[in-house]
Structure 1
Amino acid sequence: MVAAYQKLCPETLDGACRELADRDPALDRIYRERGCPPLWQRRPGFRTLVQIILEQQVSLASGRATMKRVENAIGRVTAQSLAGAGESGLRAAGVTRQKALYCTLLARAAMDGELNLGRIARVRDHEALDMLTAFKGVGRWTAEVYLLMALRRPDVWPAGDLALAKALQAVKKLPVKPGEDVMRTIARPWRPFRAVAARMLWQEYLCRNRAASAASG
């Protein structure tokens, strides 16, 4: 049994995968066919939170490309550099008007001490989510992905993630893509390792997409 409060690492990730495979036939098949998924961790901090905002409602590749343009324009992404660039500087780097506003507001909050990512890293999941989503532009998906990847929390479940919904529809053979409420209901038996189940399903989604691309190419 892997302790639920542990920060995920390669060893605890594999142990949790084995436990989930014992509980759920669909996850068991993924684990047997794909093995343990990547940890997909990100460095905790302001830059990562900004990058997740840039990835909202676009592909990961698009979000990364936007971040690269921002870094080319302003250098290292910090609260100070973003605040200095302002909305106009971010817009010139290709950031949408709405996301430019979100990022500059977040930068000012970090500089004023209102956004304290160090403190957020030390509180329980529900408290951390409440603290993050208090800031304009940080919705539940953004906050959950930050906890899952940057803080490596084991039981965060981003029910609003489109790739997860598509993977879940495929592996559970659902007639339609599940909504967030259905996603949360299906994931309930996977506590306290829902973030591990998410990684397993993301891995399945990517493998299926690669296979489909190879077949069509």
Structure 2
Amino acid sequence: MSPPTLPACFEQDRALAAFIAQIGPCRLAEQTRPDPQTQDPYASLIKAVTGQQLHNTAARTIFGRLCTLGPQRDKNGPPPTPEILLTLDDATLRQCGLSGAKIASLRAIAQGRLDGIVPSLTEAHKMDDETLITQLTTLRGVGRWTAEMMLMFHLRRPDILPAGDLGVQEGWRRLQRQPKRLTPKALKAATLAFSPHRSTLAWYCWQAKERLPPSPSATIS
């Protein structure tokens, strides 16, 4: 197999280029194929909050139950519209497996969609990354990491570096054979040269965290 074609910034980092030659091309595109069920920012955020701190299987089950309350009454269909979700009582939502905190967050997202804080897909495509992240993180239960994952995996933005993600921090540390993980601010500075390809860089960091040996021991500098 021929080595993947890389942007010059990846080729110039010897450790990263060697790792890429070992594991092959980035497969992020395969993981970010448009999903009609969750591509809309509203639906994507509903799914993200529903699955927070849960195993993937449990997250899919609970989200599927929520979707049966949506307009198609189908676990594989879209989640309830904002208008529908805001009419559902706590007991109904708890039967899906949602906690009180998540119910409050889902209602905040629904109200945020009605208020224009959560944009439509068309509107989102017109917004730059940081403006969209800043706007979404005003909502209860939506942190920066959640917004970044939505931009990366659902809106397919190419230049997202979730610098607060421990997997990205640890993967970068292992790639560069550093004794300490960088702080988010330092990691952003260290990877600025990879813009506008930092979503790809994040994917390789996640792979490095899983594939490269963990020594030396890691702490955050």
Kindly tell me: are residues 99 and 33 of structure 1, through their superposed partners in 2, closer, same or farther at Cα, counting changes over 3 Å? Answer: same
Aligned length: 195
Which amino acid counterpart does residue 204 of structure 1 have in structure 2? Answer: A
Is 2:95 aligned against 1:92? yes
Match of 1:129 in 2: 133
Match of 2:18 in 1: 29
**Residue 73 (structure 1) shift:** 6.0
**Residue 137 (structure 1) shift:** 1.8
Q: Which structure's residues are more often helix, by fraction?
A: 1
Kindly tell me: are residues 60 and 27 of structure 1, through their superposed partners in 2, closer, same or farther at Cα, counting changes over 3 Å? Answer: farther
**Residue 179 (structure 1) shift:** 2.8
CA distance in 1, matches of 2:57, 2:211: 17
Which amino acid counterpart does residue 116 of structure 1 have in structure 2? Answer: P
Match of 1:78 in 2: 80
Matching residue within 79, 103, 111 for 1:108: 111
Match of 1:68 in 2: 64
Percent identity, aligned pairs only?
23
State which drifts further: 159-168 or 142-151: 159-168
**Residue 57 (structure 1) shift:** 4.3
**Residue 124 (structure 1) shift:** 1.3
Q: Which ranges of structure 1 fall in alignment gaps of 5 or more residues?
A: 1-13, 210-217
Give the conservation status (yes or no) of the 8 Å contact 2:117–2:136.
no
Match of 1:201 in 2: 205
**Residue 166 (structure 1) shift:** 2.5
Kindly tell me: are residues 86 and 23 of structure 1, through their superposed partners in 2, closer, same or farther at Cα, counting changes over 3 Å? Answer: farther
* Structure 1 segment 130-149 matched on structure 2, within 5 A: 130-149=134-153
Give secondary structure in 1 for the equivalent of 2:98: coil
**Residue 22 (structure 1) shift:** 0.8
**Residue 48 (structure 1) shift:** 1.6
**Residue 83 (structure 1) shift:** 2.6
Which whole-Å deviations, capped at 9, do the CAs of 1:138-169 have from their partners, x for residues lacking one? Answer: 21111111111111111111112222122222
Which amino acid counterpart does residue 108 of structure 1 have in structure 2? Answer: Q
Matching residue within 158, 164, 168 for 1:164: 168
CA distance in 2, matches of 1:60, 1:164: 19
Q: Which ranges of structure 2 fall in alignment gaps of 5 or more residues?
A: 214-221
Which amino acid counterpart does residue 26 of structure 1 have in structure 2? Answer: A
**Residue 112 (structure 1) shift:** 4.4
Q: CA RMSD in A?
A: 2.7
Which amino acid counterpart does residue 191 of structure 1 have in structure 2? Answer: S
Match of 2:47 in 1: 51
CA distance in 1, matches of 2:139, 2:201: 28
**Residue 69 (structure 1) shift:** 3.9
**Residue 35 (structure 1) shift:** 1.0
Match of 1:154 in 2: 158
